[in-house]
Structure 1
Amino acid sequence: MAGRTGRTVYDLRRSNRAAVLRRLYFDGPLSRQELGPATGLSSGTISNVVGDLTADGLVEEAGSVESDGGRPRILVRVAPASGHLVGVDVGETRVRVELFDLALTELARTERPLTGDGYDVDGIVGHVRDGVGEVLRRAGVAAEALLGVGVGVPGIVERTPEHGAVVHGQTIGWDAVPLEEMLRRSSGLPASVPFLIENGARTLGQAEMWFGAGRGARSVAVVLLGSGVGGCHVTDVAQQGRALEWGHLTVQVGGRRCRCGAPGCLEAYVGAGALLDRWREAGGRPPAGAGEEAALAALADAAHPPSGGDPDPVARAVLREAAEYLGAGLSGLVNLFQPERILVGGWAGLRLGPRFLADVRAHATAYSLSYPADRVTLDLGALGPDAVTVGAATLPLSVFLEAGGHRPPAAARPAQTPAWQAALEARALG
């Protein structure tokens, strides 16, 4: 029966379960007495919800704490073994697949290097399919136990009723690729296991906000610096982040040609591929036959020798130029969004960050308005190279928590709502 708000008893129960699960997931273990004030639910409702979640195997006891003069209070937590998640990072040099339990403890992983075919769509689909099968076999986990597969990809992700998630990746040659549909057809997974696909910078941002250097902040800009450049802006309105095609911000009118085809994009100056091109053009010599990651490491070591020797002036000049362009690009984020924090991640960002982040910070400050620049911090992300896969795994995890631990039938599963829309709808209902 629906009330005046249109919400049914089932909706209310699901909402209560979701409130308890979320609080236990992010702040647990907690006692039933602590859950009441934390969720705003009555003690009777907490008792019923915890009982239901325990009966479903989603919540378990986790010890006890002394109380003031009474019996010890039993602590409860989300049971890590009650579900499994897969996170996939379709990166620029490899496809990384990781299997996690519900606490996001890694159980198994595999990596598939991208070779000469690069972003061949069928090849990527095959890597994901085989990688998911491999991690499940290694961990001895049945496919039916999966709550979902989250996939972080380069490009813009569009939701369509006909094909699910469709990827527009201009820089990698993907034109309206129906990736969700292709993965579903190829995977062999049960229909109950959803594929949730998002921009890789957004999954990176969500991971840092949930578990990393973004926790506790209300506005964070997260930068993914790899072969290309991406970004995500997370605020209290768009709580899961808005992916930004920030790498294609024009920083030089009539400048270097970007791989997207336009002149003067930020990515043409600070992406790993662009840095290596610039180094070669200036007379630098990356190791023969080295892949992009090894070549970038050689550039960083030449500019900042680990042994403390004399730096290569050409390599140092390339990184100094990149630091200024990156700082100028970050100033746009500072002036437009006024974030509390900017976090730099991605394999190239993590490799170069310790060497040139101080220069980037100085240039970002110089190019920004003083008021927002004085209030923003700039640091490396805290989750390392696995941040995108962790963030990808949070996509099905978020759906699971929002559903109160229920897995909706595949036929009834709606298209994924954009983060900004979900946040506004939640506020309207509240």
Structure 2
Amino acid sequence: MTRSNGRTVRDLRRENRTAVLRRLYFDGPMSRFALGPATGLSSGSISNVVAELVAEGLVEEAGSVDSAGGRPRILLRVAPASGRMIGVDVGETRVRVELFDLTLAELARAERPLAPSAEGGERYEVGVVVAHIRDGIAEVLRTAEVPAERLLGVGIGVPGIVEHTDADGAVVHGQTIGWDAVPLERLLREAVDLPPEVPYRIDNGAKTLGQAEMWFGAGRGASSAVVVLFGSGVGACVVMDPIGPGRALEWGHLTVRVRGRRCRCGAQGCLEAYAGAEALLARWREAGGRPPAGADEETALTAMLAAAYPTDTDPGGADPGGADPGEADPGEADPGGAGPGEAAPPGTDPGPDAVALAVLDETAEYLGAGLADLINLFQPERILVGGWAGLQLGSRFLARVAAYARAYALRHPGGRTEIALGTLGPEAVTVGAGLLPLVDFFAQGGRRPERAPSIPAPAWQTALRDRVST
């Protein structure tokens, strides 16, 4: 049956189920009485939808609450055990795989380190990544004793641009890691032992971070936001609908300096060539700083912060006495301190490393200018900075970034945009990846993917194929 607006009764039922599931998920537990005004559905529709969802095990009772003069009202919630999702973060140094229940409680985790390929640089072997995802999925399912048939799907966050094609599914263009049109979804379907009806949802890592922060983190309650992923490189996701998906931006490859530093993408003058953790550490080294030999990026960044703020027990903490851009030189060292990389005389305060401070402030200015572009283009209510490097640098660094952003942005949108750190930690990309199958599950009204029926080809196709083969 089709209604006059083109929607069928089946479409309407799916939309009603979606509305109830989303409201219970984000704001539950709730009573049937409260669900009506929250979803805009009639009491009859609420009763029918809830009865279906309870019968299917998607919704369960969660206690009761007193009503005004009547019987207690039963509270309802989405049943945590009614579905399982896998989230995968394909980073540039490791692959993390996590198994979640429907409430995003972690059930199992597996991590596999990534090493550069034989070609060196930032190129990573596709076969190795696929094998890590395959083994990680098998490990978390085995550890949690969850049959693969219980999965709502596998969500994967990757660096680069993701193109969705009819032939190969998700294809990844990861220029900074040497991936040129990699048919990742097809490769995973060939390698991973999962039922064919279990969907893969592959998207940009900044987008999965944005999804997580908007639903459960610092973006909750905002009408619009830009979520920045600051790790080895930088990326961003713009969200104009707090419930809907965001849009990934290759923000790190915005040109900030004509004929500037060579970016790892191959171009010159990209923001990422100045503001990513990899570039930040390289610039510190070039200016005379001494990162620990053989240290990974996270350890080296910790050492840089310790050099810049030697007396600060929390390098990421707030800096209430920090200068605004244009005031005292932030790279000015303590006159009695040691130079970059030098040992301080016994019994003296080593003082801040002038080189480390100068490089950090220059990085803050580049990031601030980049954020100003986002403010001017999208005028978001909030800008949220996440990723392991952004969170490690913390609010001390962010205060200077925000000051530069407001100095470079137009006054009106700049004054209305809040700039803050994300609140879900450095593993939020994995959480956001796990949400990708859940988004589809809710959009389908809580219906699991079904195996497509096998329909035989027309007889003439078989006859002609046999004729050609003989």
Shift of 1:108: 1.1
Picking from 324, 327, 339, the partner of 2:365 is 324
- Letter matched to residue 374 of structure 2: L
Residue in 2 that maps onto 1:160:
165
Q: Does the residue aligned with 1:384 lie in a helix, a strand or coil?
A: coil
Runs of at least 5 residues in structure 1 that lack an aligned partner in the other structure: 413-430
Shift of 1:355: 3.3
- Letter matched to residue 3 of structure 1: R
Residue in 1 that maps onto 2:11:
11
- Is the 8 Å Cα contact of residues 85 and 437 (structure 2) preserved in structure 1? yes
Shift of 1:83: 0.3
Residue in 1 that maps onto 2:193:
188
**Structure 2 CA distance for partners of 1:186 and 1:95, relative to 1, 3 Å:** same
Residue in 2 that maps onto 1:313:
354
Residue in 2 that maps onto 1:376:
417
Shift of 1:295: 1.1
Residue in 2 that maps onto 1:104:
104
Shift of 1:113: 1.3
- Is the 8 Å Cα contact of residues 214 and 242 (structure 2) preserved in structure 1? no
Residue in 2 that maps onto 1:256:
261
Bigger mean CA offset, 237-246 vs 345-354: 237-246
Residue in 2 that maps onto 1:178:
183
Shift of 1:307: 5.0
**Structure 2 CA distance for partners of 1:406 and 1:306, relative to 1, 3 Å:** farther
Shift of 1:376: 0.7
- Letter matched to residue 169 of structure 2: G
**Structure 2 CA distance for partners of 1:253 and 1:7, relative to 1, 3 Å:** same
**In the alignment, is residue 134 of structure 1 matched against residue 134 of structure 2?**
no
Give distance in 1, aligned partners of 2:144 and 2:269. 47
Shift of 1:17: 1.0
Q: 1:330-409 counterparts in 2 under 5 A?
A: 330-409=371-450
Residue in 1 that maps onto 2:2:
2
- Letter matched to residue 223 of structure 2: R
Give distance in 2, aligned partners of 1:105 and 1:48. 29
**Structure 2 CA distance for partners of 1:18 and 1:72, relative to 1, 3 Å:** same
Give distance in 2, aligned partners of 1:67 and 1:249. 56
Residue in 1 that maps onto 2:296:
291
Give distance in 1, aligned partners of 2:144 and 2:274. 42
- Is the 8 Å Cα contact of residues 31 and 75 (structure 1) preserved in structure 2? yes
Q: Kindly, what percent of the aligned residue pairs are identical? A: 71
Deviations 1:196-239 (A, max 9, x none): 00000000001000000001111101100011110000003993
Residue in 1 that maps onto 2:114:
114
Shift of 1:410: 4.2
Please tell me whether Structure 1 or Structure 2 has the larger radius of gyration of its CA atoms: 2
Runs of at least 5 residues in structure 2 that lack an aligned partner in the other structure: 118-122, 314-349, 454-470
Q: 1:213-224 counterparts in 2 under 5 A?
A: 213-224=218-229
**Structure 2 CA distance for partners of 1:345 and 1:42, relative to 1, 3 Å:** same
Shift of 1:158: 0.5
> How many matched pairs?
412
Q: CA RMSD in A?
A: 1.3
Q: Does the residue aligned with 1:404 lie in a helix, a strand or coil?
A: coil
TM-score by length of structure 1 reads 0.94
Give distance in 2, aligned partners of 1:186 and 1:234. 33
Shift of 1:114: 1.2
**In the alignment, is residue 229 of structure 1 matched against residue 229 of structure 2?**
no
Residue in 2 that maps onto 1:415:
none
- Letter matched to residue 72 of structure 2: P
Residue in 2 that maps onto 1:273:
278
TM-score by length of structure 2 reads 0.86
Deviations 1:60-99 (A, max 9, x none): 0000000011100000100000000011111122111111
Deviations 1:171-216 (A, max 9, x none): 1111111001111111111112111000000000010000000011
- Is the 8 Å Cα contact of residues 300 and 355 (structure 1) preserved in structure 2? no
Deviations 1:331-380 (A, max 9, x none): 10011111111000011111112331111111111111111111011111
Residue in 2 that maps onto 1:58:
58
> Which 4+ residue blocks in structure 1 deviate beyond 3 angstroms?
306-309
Residue in 2 that maps onto 1:416:
none
Give distance in 2, aligned partners of 1:238 and 1:246. 22
Shift of 1:10: 1.7
Residue in 2 that maps onto 1:303:
308
Shift of 1:306: 5.0
Give distance in 2, aligned partners of 1:307 and 1:237. 37
- Letter matched to residue 157 of structure 2: G
Give distance in 1, aligned partners of 2:162 and 2:24. 31
Give distance in 1, aligned partners of 2:307 and 2:446. 51
